[in-house]
């Protein structure tokens, strides 16, 4: 009886960890640092800030990529190879900030199913269609798993068109998912059940419901689409639902009228957003003007992270951050990751997704580390749409490569095998190039492990006790203990030459107490 509860608690903890690294949470913390406000109010303000950043300032969603889809025309429903399909590039939000909310509430399967549906809908809104092979490139899973998740939604009536799908399957379509959710809600169905079965987060539902409330204020569907910022096909379905359920709608929204700042154009100009800050969030004119300038600086900071079509930006914990600190206290580092590359199409196998899954895990983990961030297993799973257990299992199936995950880099995992393996290879005379090839670590990380080991060796041989070495080197207790044991193992005649090189590393880079340095600088200043 305890296992499901424990599993659910673990998933919630992982979701909280991932959510703390989203851009939305970054904005929430940013506004809370500048205004002493409650979390709920900060999240409300952050939601408006996000709309302004993406609307007026043109900041691309960090989890959005460009991807080739099939042009939506009659021929799109005819099954044919990719080289005979008419393609166009579409923008797909592979990672959305509220995915973490969905993960924590309903689990990995619901989150991934929601992502699949969102990408199909986004392509459709842009006049294109995805198909099963393209979904297999985006989601390293089997064709049976992808098809089952898609059919689960289609059989509920969700309009999720794919290229090469049959007419019989299309007969299940009733409404697009945002419209279907609203229709079921107006029929009196429990909202949580609707959200769970249609894979919708609470934040996403609120955004859709707010937009639905506004549409009857406009005579034309095109005008409503422009005002709300939603696609015309969706707005037309919302209007149809409103007209066919007018009495129920009036009862439901009678005391829930939309506010002026819920219009999309309130976030498409600087002056209108300043009004939102003053009227909705209580800013003074001067404070609103200063805050808007700060938001431009944030936008420019993330704009400088240049990325190509298949790349995303993810915010991870700095690889230099040791263990023992909460995420709120940790240094976060945004990194650019290749979520989809050209070679992924060749790696995609409908029946055996293992190769694509492993290559993507290794790629994003190594790229993040090379840019100064160490990803946790939940981070990796969140990025590639896999559970943390699935990530762990895939890594165990490829034991010859030790990836620089957060647990290994900060020595938070069950073992320190990554450091021991690198040091062992060095002791046996392997070059840094050979060690890089065998372990998957960068030159910089290998040098850092060897240098940390050399400092422990030097201080141990000078007679310092283990607790003092931990303080001076600013390493965790477990790391120092492991290096202490490795010194005893390799301090023999067989490894005399390699140990002499280790000692020279430490002499060239003598260990210094970082805390003492900070204290000395403070004393010198006054």
Q: Residue 394: its pLDDT value, please? A: 94
In angstroms, the Cα distances linking 52 to 193, 214, 268 are 32, 19, 7
Burial (CB count <10 Å: 0-12, 13-18, 19+), residue 246: exposed
Q: Kindly provide the residue ranges of all beta strands, DSSP E only, lying in 12-163, ordered along the sequence.
A: 64-71, 87-93, 128-129
Q: Give the integer Cα–Cα distance in Å for 155 and 174.
A: 10
CB-CB neighbours of 273 under 10 Å: 24
Q: Between the CA atoms of 70, 75, 79 and 83, what dihedral angle is there, to the nearest 10 degrees?
A: -50
* Sequence-separated (6 or more) residues with CB below 8 Å from residue 334: 62, 302, 305, 313, 314, 315, 316, 373
DSSP 261: G
What region, left, alpha or beta, does residue 386 occupy, with left being phi > 0 and alpha being psi -120 to 50 degrees? beta
Helix boundaries (H) for 108-220: 108-125, 132-138, 143-154, 167-170, 177-186, 191-198, 202-214
From the number of C-beta atoms within 10 Å of its C-beta (0-12, 13-18, 19+), residue 260 rates as exposed
Rounded-to-integer distance, Cα 196 and Cα 177, Å: 12
H-run or E-run covering 335: strand 332-338
Per-residue pLDDT of the chain (526 residues; tens, 9 = 90+): 344 444 467 788 889 889 989 999 989 988 888 887 888 889 889 999 998 998 888 888 999 999 999 999 988 888 888 888 999 999 999 999 999 999 999 999 999 999 999 999 999 999 999 999 999 999 999 999 999 999 999 999 999 999 999 999 999 999 999 999 999 999 999 999 999 999 999 999 999 998 998 888 888 999 999 888 899 999 999 999 999 988 888 777 755 555 555 677 788 899 999 999 998 898 999 999 999 999 999 898 888 788 889 999 999 988 877 665 667 777 889 999 999 999 999 999 888 999 999 999 999 999 999 999 999 999 999 999 999 999 999 999 988 888 888 877 765 544 356 678 888 889 998 888 888 777 767 677 788 889 889 999 999 998 898 888 888 887 778 788 888 889 988 988 888 899 999 998 888 887 765 444 434 333 333 2
**310: closest CA among 338, 283, 285?**
338
Quick check: 120 and 160 in contact, CB under 8 A?
Answer: yes
φ/ψ of residue 64, rounded to 5: -105, 140
CA 95 to chain centroid: 5
Whole-number pLDDT of residue 176: 97
Element at 240 (helix H, strand E): helix 232-244
Give me the pLDDT at residue 448, please.
Answer: 82
Cβ atoms 22, 97 nearer than 8 A = yes
CA distances from residue 88 to 76, 111, 123, 311, 312 in whole angstroms, order as listed: 12, 27, 10, 18, 20
- Beta-carbon count within 10 A of 231 CB: 17
Q: What is the dihedral of CA 294, 298, 303, 306, to 10 degrees?
A: 150
Map out the domains of the chain as residue ranges: 182-267, 415-526
Q: Which H/E stretch holds residue 334?
A: strand 332-338
């Amino acid at each position: 009886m305890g296992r499901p509860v424990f599993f659910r608690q673990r998933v919630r903890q992982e979701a909280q960890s991932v959510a703390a690294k989203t851009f939305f949470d970054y904005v929430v913390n940013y506004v809370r640092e500048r205004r002493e406000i409650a979390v709920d109010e900060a999240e409300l303000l952050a939601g408006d800030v996000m709309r302004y950043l993406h609307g007026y300032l043109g900041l691309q969603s960090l989890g959005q990529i460009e991807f080739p889809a099939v042009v939506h025309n009659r021929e799109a429903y005819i099954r044919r190879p990719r080289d005979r399909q008419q393609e166009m590039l579409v923008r797909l939000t592979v990672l959305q900030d509220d995915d973490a909310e969905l993960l924590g509430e309903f689990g990995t399967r619901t989150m991934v199913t929601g992502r699949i549906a969102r990408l199909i809908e986004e392509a459709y809104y842009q006049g294109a269609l995805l198909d099963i092979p393209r979904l297999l490139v985006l989601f390293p899973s089997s064709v049976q798993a992808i098809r089952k998740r898609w059919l689960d939604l289609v059989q509920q009536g969700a309009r999720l068109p794919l290229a090469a799908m049959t007419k019989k399957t299309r007969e299940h379509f009733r409404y697009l998912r945002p419209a279907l959710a609203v229709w079921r809600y107006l029929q009196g169905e429990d909202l949580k059940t609707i959200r769970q079965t249609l894979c919708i987060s609470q934040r996403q539902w609120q955004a859709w419901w707010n937009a639905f409330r506004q549409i009857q204020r406009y005579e034309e569907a095109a005008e409503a689409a422009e005002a709300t910022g939603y696609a015309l096909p969706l707005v037309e379905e919302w209007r149809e639902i409103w007209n066919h359920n007018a009495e129920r709608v009036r009862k439901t929204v009678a005391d829930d009228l939309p506010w002026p700042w819920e219009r999309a154009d309130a976030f498409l100009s600087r002056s209108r957003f300043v009004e939102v800050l003053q009227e909705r969030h209580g800013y003074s004119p001067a404070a609103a003007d200063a805050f808007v300038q700060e938001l431009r600086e944030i936008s420019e900071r993330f704009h400088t992270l240049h990325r190509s079509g298949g790349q995303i930006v993810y915010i991870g914990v700095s690889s230099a951050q040791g263990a023992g600190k909460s995420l709120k206290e940790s240094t976060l580092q945004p990194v650019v990751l290749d979520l989809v590359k050209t070679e992924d199409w060749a790696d995609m196998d409908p029946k055996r997704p293992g190769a694509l899954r492993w290559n993507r895990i290794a790629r994003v983990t190594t790229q993040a580390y090379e840019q100064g961030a160490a990803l946790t297993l939940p981070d990796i799973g969140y990025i590639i749409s896999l559970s943390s257990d699935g990530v762990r299992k895939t890594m165990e199936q490829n034991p010859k490569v030790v990836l620089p995950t957060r647990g290994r880099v900060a020595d938070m995992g069950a073992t320190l095998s990554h450091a021991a393996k690198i040091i062992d290879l060095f002791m046996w005379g392997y070059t840094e190039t050979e060690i890089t090839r065998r372990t998957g670590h960068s030159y910089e990380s290998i040098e850092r492990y060897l240098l940390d080991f050399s400092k422990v060796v030097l201080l141990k041989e000078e007679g310092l006790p283990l607790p003092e070495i931990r303080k001076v080197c600013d390493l965790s207790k477990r790391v120092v203990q492991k290096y202490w044991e490795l010194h005893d193992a390799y301090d023999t005649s067989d490894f005399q030459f390699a140990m002499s090189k280790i000692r020279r590393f430490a002499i060239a880079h003598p260990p210094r107490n970082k805390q003492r340095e900070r204290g000395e600088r403070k004393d010198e200043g006054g």
